Structure 1
Amino acid sequence: MSDAIKHECGLAFIRLRKSLSYYQQKYQTVLWGLNKMYLLMEKQHNRGQDGAGLASVKLNVEPGYPFLNRIRSNHPQPIADIFRQIGQEYAELQKYNNDIGKHPGLLKGHLSHLGELLLGHLRYGTQGKNSVEFCHPFIKRNTIPARNLALAGNFNLINTEELFQSIGMEPGDFQRQSDLAALMEVIYHFLVKADELSPGKMDIVTALKRALPMFDGGFHVGGIVGNGIGFVFRDAHGIRPSYYYINDEVIVAASERAAIRTTFNVGENEVQELMPGQALIVYEDGSFQIEQVLEPKERRACSFERIYFSRGSDEKIYRERSALGYHLSKPVLEAIDYDLRNTIFSFIPNTAEVAFYGLIKGCEDYLNKIKIERILAWNGNVDAEKLSEMINRKIRMEKIAIKDVKMRTFITEDVSRSEMVQHVYDITYGTVRKDLDTLVVIDDSIVRGTTLKESIVRMLSRLSPKRIIIVSSAPQIRYPDCYGIDMSKLGDFIAFNAAVELLKERGKEDTLKELYDQCLHLLHKNELHTVNVVKQVYKSFTNEEITKKIAELIVPADVDLPVDVIYQGIETLHMACPNNLGDWYFTGNYPTPGGNRVVNKAFMNYMEGRNVRGY
C-alpha cells in the first residue's frame, strides 16, 4: 500500500501442556515456550510496529510468589527489545548459577516471564496514544489468583462509552482513550462475578457469554487468568482473523495461519480457523474446549486481510492475491488497446508483488492465445525466424521503482517537507522508451492518493512514458473502517474527495449540507446507527466517473502526460477472496449498527472541519 496507514494488530497465545522439565529434556531447553512465542510474534511483525507486549502466568506457584508478569515496549524494534530484556535477565541468573537452565523448577522461580501461559501482542495504534502504557496486554491484579487477568487483542470497539455505563463505571482519562480498557473492565466485571459464584471453579464460559454480546465491533482477543485459565475469542461476524493449533504438547492461537505453521512446522490442515462467535478455552489442567459464546451471524471477514494486511506466505492468501491481479488483466488489456509491444508492467510497493504476478499471468494467457491463433492462421507456411519471433514475444516487465529508506526532513517548512516526500521512491532509468511506452503500475489499494500524487506519479513522469496507468488490486475505498484499521476520516479518502469535486462541478454542492442536516436529525433522534447517509454522496455518479476524477486528482499540476486509474470491481474481489466478504470500506454495507454511526459521525466531522476520528 503506497499510502501508509496504521492498521491491525497481532495476537499470539501459547499454553504449554507439559511440565517445563519435559521441554528441557526433549528440546534441550526450558525456554522452548518463550522461544516459540518470540517466533510467533516475529512472524506477525507486519501487524504492528508501534509496540509489543508479553504477559505470562506461572502455574502452581506457592502463595506469596508472583505468578502473573508482563513486559511491554514501544522501542523502534519492540519484539526484539522485549526478548532482549528477557535474555539479559536469564544471562544475569547464569552468572550466579551457570547450570540454572538445567533446573526447570529453579529457573521458573527466578526468571520473570518463564510460565506455562504466554500472551503476546503486536500493536498498531488505531486508538489511544503510542506510549508504552497503551501497549497490550493490559492487566488487572488482585490477591486472589482467579481475579488476575491479562488481556490483548486485534480489534476496535465502537461503543466504549456505553460499555462503561453498562457496568456503572466512570472512566478516567486513560480509559477514555483505549477501547481495550473498556473491554477489560467489562470482561473483568463478569470474571469476578463468576469467581464469586463458584470460588475455585470459575465458569469462564458463562462469564464470556454475558460479556461479549455487549461489544459492537470486530475483535479477536486473548486472555490469561491468574488461576491458569486461558481463552481466545472471535467476533460473531468473523471480521478479525483467528487461527489455532493443538497437539499434546501445546495449544497455540494467533492472528495468522502462516505464523503458526512456520513456528511449529505443521501443515495447512493442522491449523484450524476459530469460527465466528467461538472461543477457545484452556483450563487449569491443560484440557480445552471450543465453545460458541456468541450467536454466529453472517460471515463478514475483512477482505483487506487478503488484499494487503496478512502475510502473503499463507498459500491461500498468495493464491487470492494472484487472483486479484489476474482479474484486472482484462480491463488493463482493454485500456492499452491490447498493445503489449509498447507497454511495460511494474508494481509499487513490494506488497503488491503477488497481485502483479497475477496480472502478468492474465496478460500472458491472452498473449499465448494470440500466438496460437496467429500460428494456426499461417497454415504451415512458416519459417524458423518467423516462428521464433512469434513464440519469443513476452510481457514486458521492469523493476521501475525502488522504495528508499524512510526519509525525514530536519526542516519543518511545508515546501521542504514536500520536496522530501517526492523522493520516497527512486526510479530505474533507461527502462522506458520516451514518449512511446505506456507504463502500467499496480498498487494494493489507493487510500488517500497522497503518495501517488506527491511521489509516485511525479517520479514515473521523469521516465517520459507515453501514458501512465495506475492499477489498484482493491476497489475504491469510500467509507471509514471502525473494526481495527485506522481509516476513519472521510476527508482522507481520495474517492470521497473525488465525489465531492464532482458534486461541486455539477452544481450539487448543497447535497452535502442536506446530508449533514439529515445526520443532525438522526443524531437528535438517537438513530445515527440506522442508515449510512454517506452513500448518497456517491449515488449520482458511476464508478467510472469517480475513477476518472481520482485520476485527475493524483496528477501534480506540473506533470503533463495522461494518467488513468483502474480499480478492482466488487464482484471480482469476491470471486478472488470468497471467504472474506467484508467489504464495508468499499460498499458502505457495515456488519454492525455501530458502523453506520461511525460513518455518519465521520461525515459530520468533515462538514464541521474537525480532523478527528469518527469513533
Structure 2
Amino acid sequence: MCGIIGIVAHHDVAGLLYDGLTVLQHRGQDAAGIATADGTHLRVHKGMGLVRDVFDRKSMQLLRGNIGIAHCRYPTAGSEGNDEAQPFYVNSPYGIALAHNGNLVNTDALRREVFEQDRRNVNTDSDSEVLLNVFAHELDQQKALAPEAVFRAMEGVYRRIRGGYAVVMTVLGLGVVAFRDPNGIRPLVIGRRETPQGDEYAVASESVALDLAGFERLRDVAPGEVVVLTTDGQLHARQCTGQQSLSPCIFEFVYLARPDSMMDDISVHKARMRMGVKLGEKILRLRPDHDIDVVIPIPDTSRDSAMELANVLGVKYREGFVKNRYVGRTFIMPGQGERQQSVRRKLNTIPLEFRNRVVLLVDDSIVRGTTSRQIVQLAREAGARKVYFASAAPPVRHPNIYGIDMPTVDELVAHGRSEEEVQELLGIDWLVYQDLADLEEAVAGPKAKVTRFDSSCFSGEYVTEVDPDYFDRIRALRSDEAKSSRRAS
C-alpha cells in the first residue's frame, strides 16, 4: 500500500508534492520521497519515516523544478529498507524517476529478463525497480522522446508485466508519465487547474491529494491507459493494451482510502455508509429481537458504517474510544509485537459508554484478529455487559497479492476457521460479518458503473494469472518471522 502523486506546473512543484504526500500519509508511514526536474536536471530526496520527518527546509529548497513525482509507502515484503524508498531513478535513457503503488506477480521472471535480455542491473529486491528498468528498456528501443514513443514503449511494458499497479514517472525532457494496470486494481485520479500561464495537471492515488492543491478532479485513469503530461501543459492519453476490465480493489473502499476521496467515480464516504446499511439489514434478519443498547465504532474508518448501521437498528450511536493521533495505523505496523503494543497506545475507552450495556462494536474488517481481540478486552474492562462485533467486510481468508501486504494465510484469523470459531477465538459474544455480495453492491452504489471488483482477499478469486508457486514465495516473504529475520540482519 503506497501513495503516489505527480504534477506538471508552471512553477516549482515541490511544495505541492509535499502537501499531497501529507494527505496520502495514511497509505504509508514507513518511507517517503520526492523527485523534481527542471530542464535536464533531476533532483531526488527520500528517506525512512513520516513525510514531515523526511523533508526539512533545506531539502525542500533543493527540490527545484516544475515537474515532479512523490511517493509514500509502508513496509511490504521486499521493500523494507532505506534502499527501497522511492522514487527510483535510472539515467538511461534520458533520465527517468518512478513511483509505484501496487505489486507485480511475475517479478522473479522479469528480474531475470531485465538482466539477461535487457542487460540492465537491478540493485534492490523491489519490484518497482524492476518495473522502472522494464520501462526504460522499452523506451530506449523507440529511439525517440515524445508521447508517441512512450505509448509504443508502454505496449511492450504491458505485454511483459502482470499484477496490480498505478505508476507515475518523470521523464527528463518530456514531463510526467502515468499509467494503471489493465484491471484498474490500484487507483489513479487525474486533476487539472487553470492558471494565467496555462493549464496544470496532477495525478494521484486519491482525489483528496488533488483537492488540497486546488486541482479539479477530471476523471480516473482508465485501466490500461497511459497518460503523458508534457512540460508545455498538454495532456496526451491512449489505451496501450488490448484487454481492459475495470476491477478496482475493494479493500481500498473498506479500509485504505480516506472517506473524502473519490475513486473510479465512487465516493468512499458513501460506499462506507452503504456498507453500514447492508450490515444493519443483515443483523435485523438474523436477530430481529436483538438486545443491542449502543453501537460504537472502532475509529476511524468504521465511523461511516457504524452511524448508518445504528440508524437501521434504531439504537444509539456513541463514540466509545478516544484515539491517540500520534500512533500509526495498526494494520501497517511491520511486526506482530509492534501491532500488539500499539493497540493500547492508540485507543482508550470512555467507560460511561460501555458500563452495563450490550455493545455492538463496528470495525471495517478483521485481518489477523490481534487488534480485534484486544479491543474486545478493552470493552469488557470498561464494563460492557455483552460485546458484539460487526465487520463491515467479509472474513479475510486469502492473501492480497496486488499491493496490500496482508499476512500469510496462516496468520489470517478467518483462514480455515468458521465464523463461530473466530468468534470464540476473539472472545466475542456474537460476531457478524458482511456478506461479499452485499459489500460489492454497497461499494458499487445504485448507479453501478463498476460491475466487478478485486475481492480476492475475501473470495480467493484473483483477477490476473498467478503462477502456482507464487503463494509459497509470498508466504516465505510475508510471515512475521521472516520479516523479523530480515530486520535483524
TM-score with structure 1 setting the length: 0.69
User: Is 2:292 the partner of 1:299?
Assistant: no
Going from structure 1 to structure 2, the CA distance change for 1:441 and 1:171 (only over 3 Å counts) comes to farther
Decide whether the 8 Å contact of 1:482 with 1:488 is kept in 2.
no
Return the alpha-carbon distance in structure 2 between the equivalents of residues 346 and 42 of structure 1.
28
Aligned amino acid, residue 461 of structure 2:
N
Following superposition, the deviation at residue 419 of structure 1 comes to: 8.2
Counterpart amino acid of residue 456 in structure 1? I
User: Counterpart of 1:447?
Assistant: 367
Asked if residue 41 in structure 1 is aligned to residue 21 in structure 2, the reply is yes
**Which residue among 535, 549, 558 is the counterpart of 2:421?**
549
Q: Distance in 1 between matches of 2:338 and 2:206?
A: 40
Q: How does 1:436-585 map to 2 (within 5 A)?
A: 437-453=357-373, 455-498=374-417, 546-555=418-427, 563-578=429-444, 579=450, 581-585=453-457
Relative to structure 1, the CA distance from residue 554 to residue 244 in structure 2 (aligned partners, 3 Å threshold; closer, same or farther) is same
Match of 1:430 among 339, 352, 362: 352
Aligned to 1:74: 48
CA distance in 2, matches of 1:419, 1:138: 33
Q: Distance in 1 between matches of 2:350 and 2:468?
A: 45
Distance in 2, matches of 1:125 and 1:563, equals 34
Instruction: Choose from 70, 78, 86 the match for 1:120.
Output: 70
The aligned residue for residue 10 of structure 1 is 3
SS in 1 for 2:283: helix
Instruction: Check whether the contact 2:476–2:482 (CA below 8 A) recurs between aligned residues.
Output: no
CA distance in 2 between counterparts of 1:581 and 1:416 reads: 32
Q: Which segment drifts farther, 397-406 or 203-212?
A: 397-406
- The partner residue of 2:316 within 389, 393, 396 is 396
How far 1:43 sits from its partner (Å)? 1.8
- Partner of 1:592 in structure 2? 464
| Partner SS, residue 21 of structure 2 | helix
| Structure 2 residue 159 is the aligned partner of structure 1 residue 213 | yes
> Are the aligned partners of 2:20 and 2:209 in contact in 1 as well (CA < 8 Å)?
yes
Which one of the candidate residues 206, 223, 227 is aligned to 1:280? 227
1:37-186 correspondence runs (5 A): 37-59=17-39, 67-75=41-49, 77-79=50-52, 81-87=54-60, 89=61, 112-142=62-92, 146-169=93-116, 174-175=123-124, 177-186=125-134
SS in structure 1 at match of 2:414: helix
Three-state SS of the structure 2 residue aligned to 1:594 is: coil
Paired amino acid for 1:37? L
Q: What is the deviation of 1:193?
A: 1.7
State the superposition RMSD in angstroms. 3.0
Q: Which amino acid aligns with 2:47?
A: S
Whole-Å Cα distance in 1 between the matches of residues 181 and 168 of structure 2?
12
Residue 351 of structure 1 pairs with residue 297 of structure 2: no
Find the aligned partners of 1:51 and 1:416 in 2 and give their Cα distance.
Answer: 17
Q: Is the 8 A contact 2:358 2:384 kept in 1?
A: yes
Q: 1:200 to 1:418 in 2, by over 3 A?
A: closer
Report the AA paired with residue 283 of structure 2.
V
Change (3 A) 1:429 1:199: closer
The whole-number CA distance in structure 1 between the counterparts of 2:186 and 2:398 is 18
Amino acid at match of 2:465: P
1:190 matched to 2:138? The reply is: yes
Aligned residues: 460
Tell me which moved more, 286-295 or 479-488. Answer: 286-295
Larger radius of gyration: 1
- Between Structure 1 and Structure 2, which shows a larger proportion of strand residues? 2
- Structure 1's unaligned 5+ residue stretches are 1-7, 21-30, 62-66, 90-111, 365-394, 408-413, 499-545, 556-561
Distance in 1 (CA, whole Å) between partners of 2:276 and 2:308 is: 4
**Aligned counterparts of 1:422 and 1:57: Cα–Cα separation in 2:** 44
- Partner of residue 106, structure 1: none
Deviation at 1:46, TM superposition (A): 1.1
Distance 1:448 1:329, change over 3 A: same
Residue 458 of structure 2: SS of its match in structure 1? helix
Deviations 1:484-515 (A, max 9, x none): 100141111001152xxxxxxxxxxxxxxxxx
Question: Structure 1 residues 171, 480: CA separation in 2 closer, same or farther (over 3 Å shift)?
Answer: farther
Structure 2: unaligned runs, 5 residues or longer: 329-335, 445-449, 485-489
> Is the Cα contact below 8 Å between 1:344 and 1:397 reproduced in 2?
yes
Structure 1 counterpart of 2:277: 326
SS in structure 2 at match of 1:565: strand
SS at match of 1:152: strand
SS in 2 for 1:592: coil
Cα gap change, 1:601 to 1:296, in 2 (>3 Å): same
Q: Deviations over 1:31-82 (max 9, x none)?
A: 4x333222222221111111111111112x5xxxxx111111213x334532
CA contact (8 A) 1:57 1:228 kept: no
- The structural deviation recorded for 1:296 is 3.4
Distance 2:385 2:147 in 1: 73
In 1, distance between residues paired with 2:145 and 2:317? 67
C-alpha change, 1:483 and 1:115, in structure 2 (3 Å) is same
Higher helix share: 1
Identity %: 23
Contact persistence 2:339–2:371 (CA under 8 A): no
Does 2:209 match 1:259?
yes
- Residue type of the partner of 1:41? L
Cα distance in structure 2, aligned partners of 1:350 and 1:604 = 32
Cα distance change, pair 324–487 in 1 and its aligned pair in 2 (3 A): same
CA distance in 2, matches of 1:445, 1:84: 39
Q: C-alpha distance in 2, partners of 1:84/1:167?
A: 38
Aligned pair partner of 2:175 in 229, 248, 264: 229
Q: Does 1:240 align with 2:186?
A: yes
3-state secondary structure, aligned to 2:301 = helix
